[in-house]
C-alpha cells in the first residue's frame, strides 16, 4: 500500500512516499518557495537526485507536479494507488492525543488552534485542502506534534499564572516535536529490549526540546504553550524571565508582534553570537577565537544539561539518553560538551565512538552508569505508520 507522508510549511512541501507495511521509501522530495519567485523542487529516488525550477503558484500546483513525478518515475500508474496522505500538524491543543482522519470537523479544529501556531497550522490546512483536491480518493490523516505530550499531568503542564488563563484561554504547556520524541523513545526501547524504561530524549535541531518518558509515556517536555520555551535554539530564546519582555517593550517601545519576532527569530544562538543560528558557524567561530560564539555554545549546552538534570530527578533516574535532529545527530562537539557536563551522573563519553554523524550509535563506554545514544529521528515514518493503520 502506498502512503504519502507530508510536511507543509507556508512556502514549502516536504514529502516521502512509502510502500507499507514494508516501510520502503519509494521517493522523497521538497518543493520550495511556493508562491514566491524562484520556486523549485527536488526529487530523490535511491541514488538519483534532481532539481527543477518551475513556477509553483500554490500548494495545489506542487501536489499536481508531485503526482506527475510519481507517474513519470513509475512509482504509481494510477492516482488510486495512493491510499493515504498523512500531514504533520504542529499544534493540536488538548483536542488531539492521537492521529485522526482529516474530516471537515477536524480541519475546523486545526484552524481554531491556529491562534497558538499561526504560520504552521494555516500552512498545514492549505496542504490538506490541496491534497484533497489533487488526490481525492486517498484517506487524509493529521499527525500532531503535540499529541505525544498529552499524557503530561497538570503539575507539569500548568503555569503558575491565574488559573482562569488555563480554563478560559487554554494557556498551558503543549510541547512540540512529539512525533520525533515518540520515535526516538521507541528506538531506545528496542535497543534496551524492554518497554518499562526511563528515558530522556533530546531533539536538538534548529528548534530544540527535551522530553522525559516513562514506560513509553511522556511525563514532561521542555517546549511550552508555543515552541519558544525551554532550550536555547537557533533563533529562539527559550526560557527567560518574563519581565525581560515587558521591561524591553517599555524601554524601546516595542510592539507585541515585534517582540514575538525578536524572541523567535533574532534570539538564541544568533542573538548571543551575533554571527549565526547554525551550530556549524558557531563551531567555526569558536575555532577562530570568537568570544561570543564561545559564550553562545556554553549557554546552549548548559541549558540542555539543566533540563537533563531536571528530568533525571522527575523520572527518578534514567535508563538511557538520546541525542537527535540536526545538532544532536551531527555535532560531535556539542554531544561531548553535554556529556562532559553530565559526568556527575556517572556518564563516561566514548570519544572515539562519538566521532560520527547521523548514525544510530552508543557513544558512552561500557562502564558509563547511563548509556547515551545518537538516534537519528524519523518523523516521516511515524506519519506513514499512523496513516497506514488508519487506512486499514
Which of residues 61 and 270 has its CB atom nearest to ligand AMP in the complex? 270
Burial profile 1-12: b = 16 or more Cβ within 10 angstroms, e = fewer: bbbbbbbbbbbb
User: Among 331, 364, 368, 387, which residue sits at the site for ligand AMP (rule: CB under 6 A)?
Assistant: 331
Beta carbon of residue 117, minimum distance to ligand AMP (angstroms, whole number): 16
**Nearest distance, CB of residue 77 and ligand AMP, angstroms:** 34
Catalytic annotation present for 145:
yes
Based on the shown chain and the rule CB under 6 A, indicate whether residue 330 belongs to the binding site for ligand AMP: yes
Nearer to ligand AMP, 93 or 268 (CB): 268
Q: Which one of the listed residues 46, 105, 145, 337 is annotated catalytic?
A: 145
- The HSE-up count of residue 378 (CA atoms within 13 Å, CB side) is 16
Contact status, residue 17 vs residue 27, Cβ threshold 8 Å: yes
x/- site string to ligand AMP, residues 267 to 286, per CB under 6 A?
Answer: -----------xxx------
In angstroms, give the least distance from the CB of 311 to ligand AMP: 20
With contacts defined by CB under 6 A, name the span among 86-94, 295-303, 323-331, 367-375 that binds ligand AMP.
323-331
Contact string 178-217 vs ligand AMP (x = CB under 6 A):
---------------------------xx-----------
Nearest approach, Cβ of 197 to ligand AMP (angstroms)?
24
CA–centroid distance for 248 within its chain? 30
C-alpha cell at 261: 519576532
Find, among 212, 132, 214, the residue nearest to 223 by Cα.
212
**At its nearest, how many Å lie between ligand AMP and the CB of residue 334?**
7
Contact between 325 and ligand AMP per CB under 6 A:
yes
Site for ligand AMP in 229-268 (CB under 6 A): 234
Which residues are identified as catalytic?
Answer: 145
**Chain positions contacting ligand AMP, by CB under 6 A:** 205-206, 234, 278-280, 325-327, 330-331, 357
Amino acid at each position: 500500500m502506498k502512503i504519502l507522508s507530508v510536511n507543509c510549511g507556508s512556502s514549502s512541501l516536504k514529502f516521502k512516499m512509502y510502500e507499507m507495511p514494508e516501510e520502503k521509501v519509494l521517493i522523497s522530495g521538497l518543493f520550495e518557495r511556493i508562491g514566491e519567485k524562484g520556486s523549485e523542487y527536488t526529487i530523490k529516488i535511491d541514488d538519483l537526485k534532481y532539481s527543477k525550477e518551475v513556477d509553483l503558484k500554490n500548494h495545489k500546483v506542487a501536489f499536481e507536479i508531485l503526482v506527475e513525478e510519481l507517474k513519470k518515475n513509475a512509482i504509481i500508474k494510477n492516482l488510486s494507488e495512493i491510499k493515504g496522505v498523512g500531514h504533520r500538524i504542529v499544534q493540536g491543543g488538548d483536542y488531539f492525543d492521537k492521529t485522526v482522519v482529516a474530516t471537515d470537523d477536524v480541519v475546523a479544529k486545526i484552524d481554531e488552534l491556529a491562534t497558538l501556531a499561526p504560520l504552521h497550522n494555516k500552512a498545514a490546512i492549505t496542504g490538506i485542502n490541496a491534497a484533497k483536491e489533487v488526490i481525492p480518493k486517498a484517506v487524509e490523516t493529521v499527525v500532531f506534534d503535540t499529541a505525544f505530550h498529552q499524557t503530561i499531568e497538570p503539575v507539569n503542564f500548568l503555569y503558575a499564572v491565574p488559573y482562569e488563563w488555563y480554563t478560559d484561554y487554554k494557556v498551558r504547556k503543549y510541547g512540540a516535536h512529539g512525533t520525533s520524541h515518540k520515535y526516538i523513545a521507541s528506538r531506545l526501547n528496542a535497543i534496551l529490549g524492554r518497554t518499562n524504561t526511563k528515558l530522556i530524549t533530546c531533539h536538538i535541531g534548529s528548534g530544540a526540546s527535551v522530553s522525559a518518558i516513562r514506560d513509553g509515556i511522556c511525563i514532561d517536555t521542555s517546549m511550552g504553550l508555543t515552541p519558544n520555551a525551554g532550550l536555547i535554539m537557533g533563533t529562539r530564546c527559550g526560557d527567560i524571565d518574563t519581565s525581560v519582555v515587558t521591561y524591553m517593550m517599555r524601554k524601546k517601545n516595542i510592539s507585541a508582534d515585534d517582540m514575538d519576532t525578536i524572541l523567535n527569530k533574532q534570539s538564541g544562538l544568533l542573538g548571543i553570537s551575533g554571527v549565526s543560528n547554525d551550530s556549524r558557524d558557531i563551531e567555526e567561530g569558536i575555532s577562530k577565537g570568537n568570544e561570543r560564539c564561545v559564550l553562545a555554545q556554553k549557554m546552549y549546552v548548559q541549558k540542555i544539561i539543566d533540563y537533563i538534570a531536571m528530568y533525571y530527578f522527575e523520572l527518578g533516574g534514567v535508563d538511557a539518553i538520546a541525542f537527535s535532529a540536526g545538532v544532536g545527530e551531527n555535532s560531535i562537539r556539542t554531544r561531548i560538551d553535554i556529556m562532559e557536563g553530565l559526568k556527575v551522573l556517572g556518564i563516561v563519553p566514548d570519544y572515539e565512538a562519538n566521532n560520527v554523524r547521523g548514525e544510530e550509535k552508543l557513544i558512552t563506554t561500557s562502564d558509563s552508569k547511563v548509556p547515551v545514544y545518537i538516534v537519528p529521528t524519523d518523523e516521516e515514518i511515524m506519519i506513514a505508520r499512523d496513516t497506514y493503520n488508519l487506512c486499514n
